[in-house]
Chains A and B, each alone.
Chain A
Amino acid sequence: ERGHGPYQPHEPGYGLDQPEYSPYDDQIPDPKARMLAIQNAKAYLLKTSTKSGLNLYDHLANVLTKILDEQPTNTVDIIENISKDVKWARFQKKMDTLRDEYEILSTFEDAEKCKALFIKGEENEEVIEEEIGQSPLPNVMETAFYFEQAGIGLSKDESYYIFLALKNLTSVQPIQTCRFWGKILGLEMNYIIAEVQLREGEEEEEAGEEVTEEEGKGMDEVEEQDEEKQKEDEPPKSTYKPPPDIPKEANGTGANKFVYFVCNEPGKPWVKLPPVTPAQIVCARKIKKFFTGRLHAPIVSFPPFPGNEANYLRAQIARISAGTQVSPTGFYQFPEEDDEEEARDTYEENPDFEPPSVAEMVDSLSTWAHHVKNILKQGRCVWINPQKSEEKNEDEDEEEEEEEEMGEQQEETGPPLLTLLSEDEGIKDIPAWTAQHSTNLIPQHSVAIIQSNRWPGAYAFASGRKFENIYFGWGHKYSPENYTPILPPPVQEEYPSGPAITEARDPTLEEELAFKAAQEALAAGEEEEEEEEAEEDD
């Protein structure tokens, strides 16, 4: 007999309205841990699948009900088919008209960028053939091979990508020499840095100079307004002049000898870093900050850094280059016409260079020499007297002459170019450089490697005539002491108070009259005395 109402015998759920079989029985909270575990397990089974809208608990219940209803033979062997059948029976046409948006994986986007690297440029094919002999492109893979002997470097894949990215750079920019400088790690992204010398005459006008010109015009306008206002009794103008800005070195000399291009990953466009100013170097010496990987990030620090992350990066690159770019002694020499007096700026390759053996290069540090100029405390490589520079405003010849006059400030000197490494100071009792062979097992083919202890992450290798420097690290100097930020300057003192400026009450009328009377009495007394004296003289 077919009855009416819920839970007919043939329907699933039959019998579930009995008090002990209801699925909601165990909702009564039970303090025992075991019941809690059972509840959790059941809750897990009841979790709905996001794909099909079913949950395991209901599905199992359906399958078991179907089996009990139909009672097939050899159930255990066909249980999977029964389960599939139950799922098919529940098939509902997908009425959801929303389509999943096609999600572009970030992997795909990155691959697209890298793909651009591998495409060969179509234009200028003839020009390329002529220039192949003098290509400025460095052989990154060869350098990577030598550094790999010491366990330093990036993976072959990444080196090759960097190689292709540098090739792109040289084809886009007018470059004379190019070198892979290294990689600086950052919090969100890393920087890959290329050191480049642009061809002469192709340098762009500095954006910085344009800015100062505009500021000059702005100053003139302000002065005119001030003159107009002077008729209106302005408060006295402050005579304080801030100490003059030390001018940055011209492109192509000193700290700005090379131009640096950075990119976050090979495949991304190369960005040119602005030239570095002495103020930035001086400030960079006082702060220690991680790079985030975004060039426009502000640097929040004390003393406040004049610039954003791109400037800080450039300043650190300048410091690292000045401190750790080395070459075997004698590889570079000074051209002979140079005067002893003049600051030695340039060097050229020595054609008669005889490379010392690898063992010699490792044993003694005097076989290595710096070939980048040391940066003075002022922030420049060539000292400039800021007093003089105020008078002759933008005379660029200043930078080539040595300042022999002692102005108000002491002239700063630093170690000259091509100093031997053995003269580098150590830090406390740690030598400035550590040298080792790349391998002790095969001395014929081993390479001499030195690493800097002052700038951890700077390495250099030498093998016969080949040598190269590289930097992999976070971009900070090593100091055994903890970093202490500079304290703010002391509070300016007030003008000392004394009787001259202390306020006093004005005298009242009676006091003034009394004072006047006393004065007159005194004056009358004096006159009498004078008259007496005059009488006596007579």
Chain B
Amino acid sequence: ERVWFWGCIQGVRGSYYIAEGLRPDRAAPRIRLYSFNCLDWKLLTPATKEMVAQAEQLKGRFQGDPSFEYSFAEINPQAAEKLFGGGMEPVIKEEARLIATIEQIDKAVGIVPRGAFVKTPLGSVHENRHFEGLSLVEAKKLSSYFHFTEPVNLTNKTLLEKANLDPSTDFLDSLEHDIPKGSWSVQLEKGGAVVVLRSLLWLGLTFYHVPMTKQYGYIYFGTGEKNMDLPFML
């Protein structure tokens, strides 16, 4: 129903421009397309668990060529055996790595402000037409932003916290309990006119929101590599 420009993953020889399309139920899996020149777009298949597991073994930059094959035999033979079982060749194409990376980034650091989406009693998720933006005070707090994926921590909260939740807007995990603590950098720019959150786990993910208005969004501009050194760097 809607299409968002997701961002750009820079490879060594070329950059992938990614767009995401959303279904009417915003929580449904998204459709992803990539392009090199923003004119010809190619569809990406949905991500599978095996793809994500395989792509996690890969390190280093993207090459910029979707048919480039990473050979597992060089990288990590034991993992290759485990993941591929028998029969399949231990290679993975860059296209699959791209799919898996986008999926990981969306899952880990795709965020929305609190109250921007509501969950209907039937389970589907829509934009909240009455969302007027976070106030300046709320915008500085990490608890006003949610991960836009299946919640993990929601049921672990204490009863006291649960009493304050409103099931229609508070159905997602907030950023407060992200591990490691401090993996988000919150900054106000232009004298408080815009609040910018940058993820330190996936360097290059930037989320912006103009308080008291409905404008918000996130974009990824980077090399598509997870920052595994984060605990050392804080």
Contact = CB atoms under 8 A, between A and B. Distances in A.
Contact of A430 (B60, B229, B234): B60
Contacts of A111: 191
Contact of A107 (B12, B61, B192): B192
Interface in A72-118: 105-111, 114
A431 B64 CA distance: 13
Interface stretch (A219-227, A406-414, A477-485): A477-485
B182 interface: yes
Contacts of A431: 12
Given A430-B61, A480-B60, A483-B232, A190 B191 contact: no
**Could you say which of B187, B188, B192, B229 has the most chain A C-beta atoms within 10 Å of its C-beta?**
B229
B179 interface: no
A289 interface: yes
B198 interface: yes
Nearest to A426: B12
A8 interface: no
B197 to A, nearest CB: 11
B203 A474 contact: yes
A421 B45 CA distance: 40
Contacts of B198: 185
Given A430-B60, A430-B61, A482-B229, A110 B12 contact: no
A434 interface: yes
B144 interface: no
B12 A114 contact: no
A289 B59 contact: no
A42 interface: no
A107 B193 contact: yes
Contacts of B59: 480-481
Given A105-B192, A107-B192, A430-B60, A187 B185 contact: yes
Nearest to B185: A187
Nearest to B192: A107
Interface in A434-478: 434, 440, 453, 456, 474, 476, 478
Contacts of B185: 185-188
Interface in A168-208: 185-190
A189 B187 contact: yes
A290 B233 contact: yes
Given A187-B185, A453-B12, A290 B234 contact: yes
B229 A483 contact: yes
Contacts of B182: 187
Contacts of B13: 434
B200 interface: yes
B234 A456 contact: no
A485 B232 contact: yes
A428 interface: yes
A428 B37 CA distance: 28
A430 B12 contact: yes
A290 to B, nearest CB: 5
A502 to B, nearest CB: 45
B200 A290 contact: yes
A55 B234 CA distance: 47
A414 to B, nearest CB: 26
B177 to A, nearest CB: 18
B228 interface: yes
Contact of A288 (B60, B200, B223, B232): B232
Nearest to B200: A290
Given A290-B200, A453-B61, A114 B234 contact: no
Interface of A: 105-111, 114, 157, 185-190, 287-290, 428, 430-431, 434, 440, 453, 456, 474, 476, 478, 480-483, 485
Interface of B: 12-13, 37, 59-61, 136, 182, 185, 187-188, 190-193, 198, 200, 203, 223, 228-229, 232-234
Q: Which 7 A-B pairs have the closest CB atoms?
A: A110-B191, A483-B229, A107-B191, A107-B192, A480-B60, A187-B185, A290-B233
